[in-house]
Homo-oligomer: A and B are copies of this chain.
Amino acid sequence: MYQPRVGDTLAALDTPALLVDLDLMERNIATMQERLRESNARIRPHLKTAKCPEIARLLVATGAIGGCVSKVSEAEVMAQAGIEDLLITSEIVGVPKLDRLSQLVQKHRQVKVVVDSLEGAAALNQAMERVQQPLDILIEVDVGQHRCGVQPGEAALQLARQLATFSFLRLRGVQGYEGHLQHIANASERERLCRQSMGLLTATVADLRAAGFPCEIVTTGGTGTAEICASYPAVTEVQPGSFIFMDTDYQHALGPVYASALTVLATVISRPAAQRAIVDAGLKSLSTDSGMAQPKGLPGVRYSHFGDEHGLLEWSDGETAGATARTMQIGERLELVPSHCDTTINLHDTYYAHRHGRIEAIWLIAARGKVQ
Chain A positions near chain B (C-beta within 8 angstroms): 1-2, 12-17, 48, 70-71, 90-97, 99-100, 103, 116-117, 119-120, 123, 142, 146-151, 179, 267-273, 276, 278, 280-281, 283-285, 287-289, 305-310, 312, 329-331, 342-343, 346-349, 369, 371-372
- Is the pair B94, A331 in contact by a Cβ cutoff of 8 Å? yes
B371 touches A281 (CB 8 A): yes
Nearest 3 A-B pairs (CB), nearest first? Answer: A14-B96, A148-B270, A70-B309
Chain B residues with CB under 8 Å of A12's CB are 96
Measured in the bound complex, the distance between the Cα atoms of B273 and A308 in whole Å is 37
A92 to chain B, nearest CB (A): 8
Min CB gap A244→B, angstroms: 16
A278 to B177 CA separation, bound complex (whole angstroms): 15
Assembly of this chain: how many copies? Answer: 2
Q: Tell me whether B1 and A284 are in contact (CB under 8 A).
A: no
Other than the given A146-B272, A151-B272, 10 more pairs (CB < 8 A) read A1-B103, A14-B372, A70-B309, A90-B310, A147-B270, A147-B310, A179-B307, A284-B346, A288-B288, A308-B346
Residue on B nearest A4 in the bound complex, by CB: B96
Q: How far is the CA of A272 from the CA of B116 in the complex (A)?
A: 8
- How many Å from the CB of A293 to the closest CB on chain B? 13
15 pairs, A vs B, C-beta closer than 8 Å: A2-B99, A12-B96, A93-B280, A94-B267, A94-B331, A119-B329, A119-B331, A147-B278, A148-B310, A149-B270, A150-B272, A151-B272, A179-B307, A289-B289, A348-B369
* A151 surroundings in chain B (CB, below 8 A): 272
How many angstroms from the CA of A255 to the CA of B108 in the assembled complex? Answer: 51
> In the complex, which residue of chain B has the Cβ closest to the Cβ of A13?
B96
CB distance from A5 to the nearest CB of B (A): 13
| Residue pair A14, B308 in contact (C-beta under 8 Å) | no
List the B side residues contacting A147 at CB < 8 Å. Answer: 270, 272, 278, 306-307, 310, 312
CB contacts (< 8 Å) of A100 on chain B: these are 1-2, 14
Q: How far is the CA of A306 from the CA of B149 in the complex (A)?
A: 14
Cβ-defined contact, B148 with A269, below 8 A: yes
Chain B residues within an 8 Å CB radius of A13: 96
Whether A371 pairs with B146 at a CB distance below 8 angstroms is: no
Q: Name the one of B268, B283, B331 contacting A289, with C-beta atoms under 8 angstroms.
A: B283
CB of B1 within 8 A of CB of A308, answer no
**Chain B: CB-nearest residue to A49:** B308
Closest to A73 in B: B14
Q: Are the C-beta atoms of B96 and A16 separated by less than 8 Å?
A: no
Q: How far is the CA of A269 from the CA of B142 in the complex (A)?
A: 14
Question: What separation, in Å, do the CA atoms of A270 and B148 have in the docked complex?
Answer: 6
CA A268 – CA B331 in complex, angstroms? 47
Whether A267 pairs with B14 at a CB distance below 8 angstroms is no
The answer to whether B268 and A16 have CB atoms under 8 Å apart is no
CA distance A310 to B147 in the complex (A): 8
Contact of A97 among B14, B97, B103, B329 (CB under 8 A): B14
A269/B372 in contact, CB under 8 A = no
A142→B309 CA distance, assembly (Å): 17
Distance (whole angstroms) from the CB of A340 to the closest CB of chain B: 8
| Residues of B close to A17: CB separation below 8 A | 372
Minimum CB–CB distance from A86 to chain B (whole Å) comes to 15
**A15 with B267: in contact, given A308-B342, A330-B119 (CB under 8 Å)?**
no
| Closest CB in chain B relative to A342 CB, distance in Å | 5
- The verdict on A289 contacting B305 (CB below 8 Å), with A284-B371, A310-B90, A348-B369 known, is yes
